[in-house]
């Protein structure tokens, strides 16, 4: 038998005999065709079962998708209001004030630098262009911002802190005046 497995003639002879009834008794070809019909019936039944299963899966996935879209619509239709539009005080400004109220001169420096960053962000949101706060302030017409001079004074102190670092002698009076300048600008922009 082992020698016959590699023999192609052996396999063709087996197939021929099976078609002429050796596999299915005396029925021959009609028995083989009956077996194929029976096999085809099972293929059809399994196909219908798989189709029904796939249809149920599609219906379930579609229902979940509509549910997800409804939740997304509810979530994204909720308008988030920034603190300055809600009429509250900007949280970054509260942090700046807490630093300015400290007795540590390094905290005053940090408060002024943070206030300048907030000013730059505010100017950018309002559509002023430039590489830094100085250029953005240059692009503002004095009639647009009545506290423009306060913004310049505060920004000049920030520049001295940035360039001289701890060598710049920052007094408590100067720190409070600078924070007050920033506060007046932010009040005009309705951030605080």
Is the CATH number of domain 91-188 1.20.1740? no
Q: Is the pLDDT of residue 63 over 60?
A: yes
**What pLDDT is recorded for position 16?**
76
Average pLDDT, the chain: 85
User: What local confidence, expressed as pLDDT, does residue 33 receive?
Assistant: 73
Candidates 166, 155, 69; CA nearest to 112 is: 155
Decide if pLDDT at 4 tops 80.
no
Of 104, 145, 153, 100, which Cα lies nearest the Cα of 123? 145
pLDDT at 14: 73
How far, in Å, CA of 149 to CA of 2, rounded? 103
- Whether the CB-CB separation of 102 and 179 falls below 8 Å is answered with no
Residue 82 and residue 63 in contact, taking contact as beta carbons nearer than 8 Å: no
Measured CA to CA, the distance from residue 183 to residue 37 in angstroms comes to: 89
Per-residue pLDDT reduced to its tens digit, 96-116: 999 999 999 999 999 999 999
Q: Nearest 10 degrees: CA dihedral of 174, 148, 137, 81?
A: 100
pTM for the full predicted model: 0.56
Domain ranges of the chain: 2-77, 91-188
Residue in 182, 190, 170 with CA at minimum distance from that of residue 120? 182
| Residue that has been written with the tokens 């420096």 in this structure | 109
């Amino acid at each position: 038998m082992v020698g016959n497995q590699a023999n192609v003639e052996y396999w063709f002879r087996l197939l021929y005999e099976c078609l002429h009834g050796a596999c299915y008794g005396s029925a021959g070809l009609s028995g083989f065709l009956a077996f194929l019909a029976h096999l085809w019936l099972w293929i059809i039944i399994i196909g219908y079962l798989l189709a029904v299963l796939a249809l149920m899966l599609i219906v379930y996935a579609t229902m979940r998708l509509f549910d997800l879209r409804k939740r997304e619509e509810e979530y994204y239709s909720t308008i988030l209001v920034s603190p300055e539009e809600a009429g509250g005080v900007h949280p970054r400004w509260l942090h700046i004030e807490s630093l300015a109220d400290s007795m540590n001169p390094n905290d005053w420096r940090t408060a002024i630098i943070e206030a300048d960053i907030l000013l730059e962000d505010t100017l950018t949101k309002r559509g002023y262009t430039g590489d830094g706060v100085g250029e953005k302030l240059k692009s503002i017409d004095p009639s647009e911002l009545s506290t423009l001079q306060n913004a310049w004074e505060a920004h000049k102190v920030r520049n001295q802190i940035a360039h001289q670092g701890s060598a710049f002698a920052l007094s408590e009076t100067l720190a409070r005046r600078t924070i007050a300048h920033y506060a007046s600008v932010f009040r005009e922009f309705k951030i605080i």
